Chains A and B, each alone.
Chain A
Amino acid sequence: MRVLVTGASGFLGRAVAARISAAGHEVRTFQRRPSGVPGVEDVHGSITMPADTPYAGLAYAVSGRDAVVHLAAKVSLAGDPAAFEAVNVGGTRTVLQAAQDAGVSRFVYISSPSVAHAGSSIMGSEALPAAPEQARGDYARTKARAELLALAADAPGFSVVAVRPHLVWGPGDTQLIDRIVDRARHGRLPLLGRGAALIDTTYVDNAASAIHAALDAASSVHGQSYVITNGEPRPIAELLAGICGAANVAAPAWRVPASAARAAGSLIEAIWRTRPGTDEPPMTRFLAEQLSTAHWFDQRRTRADLAWTPEVSLDEGFARLAAHYRQTP
C-alpha cells in the first residue's frame, strides 16, 4: 500500500510512519519539519494552506496514494482559538478534499477520546459519538468537529475510520512525559485529589500498531470511531510514580484538592487568554478534570473489530522508559 502520513514529525506521527513503513508499505509524510523517520519520503508543507496552492505540496504528497493517515493537528491546552479552528477543522477539511481528489480509498483520522466526553468520570464507557458542543476547550471542540467532518466523508470507495488513542506516552515524548518529569524534578508536580482516579493510557507502540490495524481494517470498519488504550487503567498517582520512577525523579508528594485545582485551572486559563504567549498555562480546567476523574474505556469492540491487542504492557512501557532515560538523562 502507498500511504501518506500527515503530522509525522510529532511524537505519535513519527511512530506511526515508522510502523507502517516497517510493515512494508511505501510511506510518504507531510508536515512543516523533517519527520526524522528513516526510509520514508518527507514532503514539507502546511495543511492550513488550500490544497491547490501552487507548491503547497499537499496535492503532490497525496498523489498516487492508496491511503492517508491524518495526524497533523494543533495539540495544546491553550492558545488562539482561531489557530485551533484553522489547523484542526480547516486543515482536516483540506486533507479530506485532497485525498478524495487524488482517488485515495482509505482514510484514518486520528482523533481523541476528549471529543465525546466532558468533565465527568468515564468508567468502562464505549466510544460515544463526537459532540463538539459539549467538548471542553478549543482542542477537544475542534477535534470533535473534524472527526464529524471526516466520518461524514465516508462513502463507497472512500473508507473513513476515526481512531482515538488516549494519553499516548513513551520514550521521546515531549508533550506529556517530559513535562511531568520536568515538573517533578523541580518539585512542581502536585497530585490532584487522592490520586486514586483510574486512568487508562496508551503506550506509543500500541497506539501506532492500533492505527496500523485500523488502516488494514478500514474497508470493514469504515464510518466508525474507536478508542485506543492499553486496557490497563491504574490510579493516576501510580502512573505518575511509574513515570517519575523511570526517570529517577521523586514522585509527587504534595496534594491539591481536585476541586481547588479545577477552579484554579479555570482562572489560570482565563488569564492566559488575555496574555497570549507561546508557553502553556501550568494548569487548565480540562487538565485538572483529566487528572482527577476516572478515564478508562471498554476496549472489547476496538480489539475485536481491529483484530488488535496491545503488544506492550504498562509495566514493560515503564521499563522501556527507564532504559530511555538511562541512555539520555
Chain B
Amino acid sequence: MPAPATLPPSGLSGLNPGWSRLIDVAESGTSGDVTHGWHLLDNGPELDALGVIPVGTILCVHGNPTWSYLWRSLLAAASEAAASGAPAWRVIAVDQLNMGFSERTTDFRPLARRVQDLDDLTDALDLAGPVIALGHDWGGVVSLGWAVEHPELLAGVMLLNTAVHQPAGDKIPAPLRLALGRGILGPATVATPAFLATTLALAHPPLSSEIKRGFRAPYLTSARRSGIGGFVADIPVALAHESRPELDRIAESVRTLAVPTLLLWGPRDPIFSDRYLDDLVDRMPHARVHRFEGAGHLLAEDVDYAAAALLWLGDAVVKSPLDASESESESESESASVAPSEAAWDAAGTHPLWHYLDELQDSDETALVDMQPTPRTVSWRLLSLRVRQLAAGLVHIGVKPGDRVSLLVPPSADLTAVLYACVRIGAIVVVADAGLGLAGLTRAVRGARPDFVIGAAPGLLAARALGWPGRKISVAGFVPPMARLLGVEHTLAELISLGQARLSAGDALPAQPAPTDAAAVLFTSGSTGPAKGVVYTHGQLSAVSRALFLQYGVGVGTGLVAGFAPFALLGPALGARSVTPDMDVTAPKTLTASAVAAAVDAIDATVVFLSPAALVNVVATAQALTPADHAALAGVQRFLSAGAPISESLLAQAAALMPQATAHTPYGMTEGLLMADITLEGIRAAAAGVAESNTVPAVANDGESVPAPPATATPAATPTANPAGGVCVGGSTATTRIRISALDASGASVGELTEEADVTGEIVVSAPHVKDRYDRLWLTERASRRGAVAGERWHRTGDVGHLDGAGRLWVEGRMPHVIVTANGVVTPVGPEQRIETLPDVFRAAFVGVGPLGTQQQVAVLETVPPARRVHRAPEKLAAAVRSMVGTPVAAVLVVPGLPTDIRHNSKIDRSRLSRWATGVLSGGRWTKP
C-alpha cells in the first residue's frame, strides 16, 4: 500500500526534530514524472546556524530493519564538534525508500534500483564533495554501490558490520536462513515485528525501551514493514538471484577504491561474522580496522562509533598536522617509517629468522633438546631439513604468504620447526598463550582469523568444540575417525613427506619475505582487558633476537634453557642451542629445580630463562637437587626471570642455586619485549640508594613532585629516594629509548616526551624491536602512538613511572590504577612498597575510591598470618599503615587474598579492588574482592 514520506513523531529519544527534512526526488530511468518522497536527517541547518563551513559531508545509509535513527549520535557528535571549533562535518542520514519515514512505494526495489535511488537523491540534493560514504548492514552495500560510481565526490569510506560478497559455496548465516524460508518470510518480517525485535535484541548491552521505541517508530504496522520484507528477499543468496550481478559488480569495484577507509566491527554478530571483515580487508587492504571486542551487529548502539569516526576523519581526511605522521605509520608506508637506529642495525648485518638454519644446515651440532616425554636431541642438520620440508609441505597444501597460521602447540621441537617453516614462507604465525584460559583463547583465535590451525590434541579439540576458524593440521597422527571428528586435514608427518617430495622434485621454496612483512601476531596476557593481538614484522622479530644477543650474549654456541616461551622460540634465530625443560606449560608452577638442572645438563647450558611463576616452584623444590644437579647449575652464567616483576628475595634465592650466574630481570611487555634490564646487584644498589635517602613522601602534581606533606603526616623515615617510589627495573637495553609523558593533575599523560629525571608519567618506549602495530585495533593503536615523534616508532606502555638521575626506570603502577586525589596524583607502587615493609603485612594494594579528581586512598592488605575473612584493619595496623604512607588514607582493609591475573598470578587487579572497596566503603554488601 503506497504511503507518502512523513516526519517522525516528536519525542524520539536522541533525535533532534530539527534534523528531519522531506524531499521529493525524481526517479531516474522513468519519463521524469515518477517522484518519491524521502525522509532524511541533516545537520546542515545546525552548522549554518553556527556560521561554520563544513569540510565535507558524511552520507549515511542504514541497513535492514533500521532507519536513519541509527546515525543520531553521529549527527549530534558532529554538530557538537563543530560548535567546539573542530572541523565541521555535515551529516546526512537517509531513510531508504520503503524504509523509515520515507515513501512506501508499490514496487519491489532490488539492489541496483536502490543504488540508483541513492544516486537520484544525491543529485536532487546537489551534494558537493568531499563526501564520506558510511553504511551499515545491507546499507553498506548500497553505500559502496554509490561510492564506486562517484569518485569525483568520494573522499573516504566508513563501514560498520557489512558485507559485499556472499561466496557461492558458503552456507547462509543461520538467522537469515530462517527469514528466507518462503513460509516464514512474510510472517517473520512483515506480518509481525519479529525480525525487527530479533535485530534490536542483538545489542550489547541491551537497548533501553526508549531507544527500542525509536527504532520501532516507523514500523508499527505490517503495511509500514513491507520494505523490511523486500530487503530480506533481496539478499542475493543464490547465484541466480536478480541482484547477484549488481552485488558482484560492487564487490569487484570496491577493489579499485583508493580513498581512506575505516572498518568498525562488532565481532559478536551472528549475521556478519568476522569472515566478512576478512573479505572486506582483502578487497581494501589499506583500510584501518578496529574490532570492538564484545560489541555486535548493532555496533552503532554498542560503542561510541561516532567519536571513532570523527577521530579518524580528522586523521585521514582533514589531516591535521598533529596526526600526519601517525597516518603514515601502518603497512602501506612501512619502509618509510623505520627508525634510524633500526637502519643502523640493518647496516651492521641483520639476519632473517632462519639465517642460522641455512648457515648451519650441514652441522651435526645440537640445535634443540626436548626433555619430554624422553630427552630427544635434534641437530641443526635435522632441524634445518625439517623446517624446509615443512615449509614446502605447507606451500603444497596451499599456505600462501600473508596467510595466518595459529599455533596451538606446546613448546617443543615440533613447535620450533613449524614456526620457522611458517615464517620462512611468509605465513604469519599467531601465538596465543594457553594461560589466557579457554574463553580468552577463543576470543584471541577468532579475532586473529587464522587460515590454518596447527595443533596438538587439546588445541584441536578446543578448536573443534568452540568452532575456531581455519583449516586444521595435527601435530600427531590420529586414527581416521578421530581425525574426521576433529576436522583434521593433514598431519605434520604428511606435510613433511609432501614437502620432501616437492624438494626432491627440485621445487624451490618461495621467495623470502621482506623485513617489513608481517611475521607474527602475539597475544597480550589479557591481564589488562581482553587480550590484544600484536603484530611483529620479520625485521622487528629479528631485532628482538638482536636485543637478546646484545643484552645476554645469547648467540652461536650458547646453550639456552628456554622456560619462557616468547624468548625460547628465538633460540634457533640466534644460532643458540636450546632446551625446553620438562614442564606443563599451561601450569608453569609444575617446573621443578631438578627439571631445570636436567635441562642445563642436557646441553651444557650457560643461560637460563624462566618465568616468575615457575621460579617460585623451582626455589621451593631446591632441596631435591643432587650434588650432580648442583654441579650442572654451577655452570650457568646468566639467569633471567621474565614476564612479571618478582621480589628481590625470590630472585636472590633462585640465584643462589646458580652461584656463578648473574641474575637478571627484564622490563617489557608483549608490545615491546626487553625494554630495560636490571641485575640482582642493580636491584640491591637501587634499594641501598633508597634507604640512604630520607625525603618526605609527597604526591606528584602536574608531573612535578611537590614536597607537601599533609597536616596529618608524620614525616616517617621513608624508604625511597624519589617521593613517588616504585620498582627499579634498570636502565634501557642497548637499542631502546625510554621517555616519560608526564601526568597532569587529572591523571592524564599529556606531557611532551622527556628523559628528565624524577618526572612521573606514562612510560613510553622506542626500539627497533617494538611491535609494528596492534591487530585490527586502530583506536588502540592510535592511542598507543599518541604524541610520538614523526619517523620514530614509539609505544605508550600504559605503565606509570619515572627515570632517575642515573637513567634507571622506576615503575610506579598502571595508568588506570593512578589515584587522582583533590591534592594531586598518587601512584600505587610506592605506598604499597612502604606498607609491605610492615612485619604484619604480606602484600598490599593501594587503590582509589570515588570520582577521579577527589578520590580517597585505600589500602587493602594480605596479612601474616593470612586473614580468614574480610575485615577492617585493627586500629594499630591501620595507624601503622597510615604512618608509612604519609598521604591521607581513608581506610585500611584486610582480605584473605588479593585478586591477581591468571597468567602470572602476580599482577594485582587494582581496578577490581577499587570497585570492590568502593562498594564496601559505601556501606554496601560485605563481600570478598
Q: Which residues of A contact B (CB under 8 A)?
A: 121, 123-124, 193-198, 231-235, 237-238, 241, 258, 292-294, 296, 298-300, 303, 310-311, 313-316
Contact = CB atoms under 8 A, between A and B. Distances in A.
A300 B853 CA distance: 9
Contact of B918 (A123, A234, A293): A123
B842 interface: no
Interface string B847-864: 001110111100000000
Contacts of A316: 711-712
B891 interface: yes
Interface in B801-836: 822
Given A121-B922, A123-B918, A195-B872, A232 B888 contact: yes
B926 A296 contact: no
Nearest to A194: B926
A124 B854 CA distance: 6
A298 B921 contact: no
A294 B822 CA distance: 18
B876 to A, nearest CB: 12
13 contacts: A123-B851, A124-B850, A124-B856, A194-B872, A231-B888, A232-B890, A233-B890, A235-B872, A238-B878, A293-B923, A294-B921, A294-B922, A314-B712
Contacts of B850: 123-124, 296
Contacts of B853: 298, 300
A17 B926 CA distance: 44
B807 to A, nearest CB: 37
B45 interface: no
B181 to A, nearest CB: 51
Contact of A196 (B851, B875, B878, B921): B921
B854 A198 contact: no
B712 A293 contact: no
B822 A234 contact: no
A232 B710 CA distance: 11
Given A194-B872, A234-B890, A313-B711, A300 B878 contact: no
Given A298-B822, A300-B822, 5 more contacts: A196-B893, A233-B856, A238-B875, A258-B923, A316-B711
B875 A241 contact: yes
Contacts of B822: 231, 298-300, 303
B923 A193 contact: yes
A292 B922 CA distance: 8
A36 to B, nearest CB: 29
Contact of A197 (B711, B854, B893, B923): B923
B710 A313 contact: yes
A294 B851 CA distance: 13
Interface-central residue, B822, B855, B872, B922, by most chain A CB under 10 Å: B922
A288 to B, nearest CB: 11
Interface in B870-914: 872, 875, 878, 888, 890-891, 893
Interface residues of B, number: 25
Given A196-B891, A197-B922, A232 B712 contact: yes
A293 B822 CA distance: 22
Contacts of A298: 822, 851, 853-854
A121 B854 CA distance: 16
B711 A292 contact: no
A312 B364 CA distance: 79
Nearest to B850: A124
B687 interface: no
B872 A238 contact: yes
A128 B680 CA distance: 55
Nearest to B712: A313
A315 B712 contact: yes
Nearest to A195: B872
B271 to A, nearest CB: 42
Interface string B404-440: 0000000000000000000000000000000000000
Contacts of B712: 232, 313-316
Given A198-B891, A198-B922, A294-B922, A300 B854 contact: yes
A202 to B, nearest CB: 15
B923 A294 contact: yes
A300 B821 CA distance: 10
B926 A196 contact: yes
B851 A198 contact: no
A64 to B, nearest CB: 39
Interface-central residue, A237, A238, A292, A310, by most chain B CB under 10 Å: A238
Nearest to A236: B923
B922 A124 contact: no
Contacts of B232: none
Given A235-B872, A296-B850, A124 B855 contact: yes
Given A197-B922, A235-B891, A316-B711, A296 B856 contact: yes
Contacts of A315: 712
A5 to B, nearest CB: 27
A298 B875 CA distance: 26
B625 interface: no
Nearest to B849: A123
A292 B878 CA distance: 21
B399 to A, nearest CB: 56
Contacts of A235: 872, 890-891, 921
B889 to A, nearest CB: 9
B812 to A, nearest CB: 23
Nearest to A310: B711
A42 B888 CA distance: 41
The 7 A-B pairs of least Cβ separation, nearest first, read A124-B850, A197-B923, A121-B922, A293-B923, A294-B922, A298-B854, A313-B712
A197 B920 CA distance: 7
A258 B923 CA distance: 8
Contact of B923 (A196, A231, A241): A196
Interface in B14-50: none
Contacts of A238: 872, 875, 878, 891
A235 B875 CA distance: 12
A114 B156 CA distance: 55
A230 to B, nearest CB: 10
A39 to B, nearest CB: 29
Contacts of B854: 124, 298-300
A238 B854 CA distance: 21
A238 B878 CA distance: 10
B688 to A, nearest CB: 33
Nearest to A120: B922
A310 B856 CA distance: 17
A135 B872 CA distance: 31
A316 B920 CA distance: 27
Contacts of B710: 313
B716 to A, nearest CB: 14
A124 B921 CA distance: 12
A265 to B, nearest CB: 15
B919 to A, nearest CB: 10
Contacts of B921: 123, 196-198, 235, 294
Interface in B671-726: 710-712
B646 to A, nearest CB: 33
A258 B890 CA distance: 21
Contacts of A296: 850, 856, 890
Nearest to A309: B711
A298 B921 CA distance: 16
Contacts of A231: 822, 888
Contacts of A232: 712, 888, 890
B747 to A, nearest CB: 14
A197 B711 CA distance: 24
Given A292-B923, A299-B854, A196 B872 contact: yes
Nearest to A311: B711
Contacts of B875: 238, 241
A233 B822 CA distance: 13
B891 A124 contact: no
B857 to A, nearest CB: 10
Contacts of A233: 856, 890
Nearest to A258: B923
Nearest to A232: B888
